[in-house]
């Protein structure tokens, strides 16, 4: 699938437009979400996760958006574990 098709998919799922290109660059390079390195990134990640999660069909584990959400959830949990 082409980058622009993923872009449309991520925007439709609620990804903020000003973050889509950076997120997709990392997604294509590493297959998931980037590490969370600050409290501000953590708060942003939680907000994005909540919005995008509401748009993913239950049981969808394979679409690019679902794969991104799964990896973002892992990054959020890793940040919370580190902060505890």
C-alpha dist (Å) from residue 18 to 10, 11, 21, 61:
12, 10, 7, 25
Could you identify the residue written with the tokens 């990134």?
41
- pLDDT digits 0-9 by tens, 5-57: 888 888 998 989 998 998 888 888 998 999 999 999 999 999 999 999 998 88
Output the pTM of the full model. Answer: 0.86
Residue-level pLDDT at 2: 57
Q: Cβ neighbours of residue 34 under 8 Å, at least 6 residues apart?
A: 23, 26, 75
User: Could you tell me the residue range of the domain that residue 54 belongs to?
Assistant: 3-83
Instruction: Say how far apart CA 73 and CA 79 lie, in whole Å.
Output: 10
Residue 81 has pLDDT above 80, yes or no: yes
- Any idea what DSSP says for residue 38? S
Neighbouring CB atoms inside 10 A of 71's CB total: 17
* Overall domain count for the chain: 1
């Amino acid at each position: 699938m082409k980058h622009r098709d993923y872009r449309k998919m991520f925007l439709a799922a609620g990804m903020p437009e000003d973050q889509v290109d950076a997120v997709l660059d990392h997604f294509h390079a590493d297959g998931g979400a980037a590490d969370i390195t600050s409290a501000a990134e953590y708060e942003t990640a939680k907000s994005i996760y909540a919005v995008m999660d509401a748009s993913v069909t239950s049981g969808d584990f394979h679409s690019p958006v679902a794969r991104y959400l799964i990896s973002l959830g892992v990054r959020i949990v890793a940040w919370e574990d580190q902060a505890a």
